[in-house]
Amino acid sequence: MDIELAGRWALVSGSSQGIGQAIATELARSGASVVVNGRSQDKTERAAEEIRKDVPGAELIPIAADLASAEGAEQLEEQVGELDILVNNLGIFGAKPVLEIDDDEWRRYFEVNVLSAVRLIRMYLPGMMERGFGRVMNIASDSAVVTPLEMVHYGMTKTALLAVTRGYAKAAAGTGVTVNSVMAGPTHTPGVEDFVHELVADELPWDEAQAQFMKEHRPYSLIQRLIEPAEIGNMVVYLSSEQASATTGGAVRVDGGYIDSILP
């Protein structure tokens, strides 16, 4: 399958590191022009430089804006015009006993992981619908349907994203615009490495720590390893393409077979 995204403009929120940077890289590799986003200008520009090393000649615009706030979203909108592809990747996670999560923490997770996506969809979906083409993807998680005991607040936000996705897909019905969730499984990023070491003995070498984490905390993974970020990026590239025109309103899994269900 030859996927060509030349001429398409994409925004990947929270793309200055990790999964977001990998998604931005793969979109650029397929020819899209990409807005790289993070909260820090230095970090965002550094991510753009790293992407250009992987994809020489990539057209990238690094924009620092805190999209967890309405003010940050408006700041980005002033600098970014029409979009063809919107990837809502921004998110936070962390382990905490559910009975110790206070109101402020519940609100913070919802604000960052859900409302940041809703704001950007409201901004850019109408234009996509008017032009008859658009791709919106919300990066969800296996935690949307397999609620992790160590971070229920995170799982709650990813479940909410599935509903947000379905609702906006219905709003865009018949317009040529697709809206999907990408359900990422346990993925190998620096943040996840830190998370793994919070749950597994710090002194273990990484390969052993990863194996123990998968065995004890993600035992249903069928690939029995962490997913590499580029594997998430590859799915996003496909869903961004003309070839994915009949896939909308869905929760598309890149979870390594972790979710023990035929359907999400």
Catalytic residue among 109, 124, 154, 258: 154
Report how far apart the first and last C-alpha atoms of the chain are (Å, whole number).
26
> How many angstroms separate the CA atoms of 58 and 126, rounded?
27
Question: Is 238 a catalytic site residue?
Answer: no
Angle at 112 between CA 107 and CA 10, to 5 degrees: 160
Per residue, what are the HEC states of the chain? CCCCCCCCEEEECCCCCHHHHHHHHHHHHCCCEEEEEECCHHHHHHHHHHHHHHCCCCCEEEEECCCCCHHHHHHHHHHCCCCCEEEECCCCCCCCCHHHCCHHHHHHHHHHHHHHHHHHHHHHHHHHHHHCCEEEEEEEEHHHCCCCHHHHHHHHHHHHHHHHHHHHHHHCCCCCEEEEEEEECCECCHHHHHHHHHHCCCCCCHHHHHHHHHHHHCCCCCCCCCECHHHHHHHHHHHCCHHHCCCCCCEEEECCCCCCCCCC
Rounded to the nearest 5°, which phi and psi values hold at 45?
-65, -35
Q: Which residues are part of the catalytic machinery?
A: 154
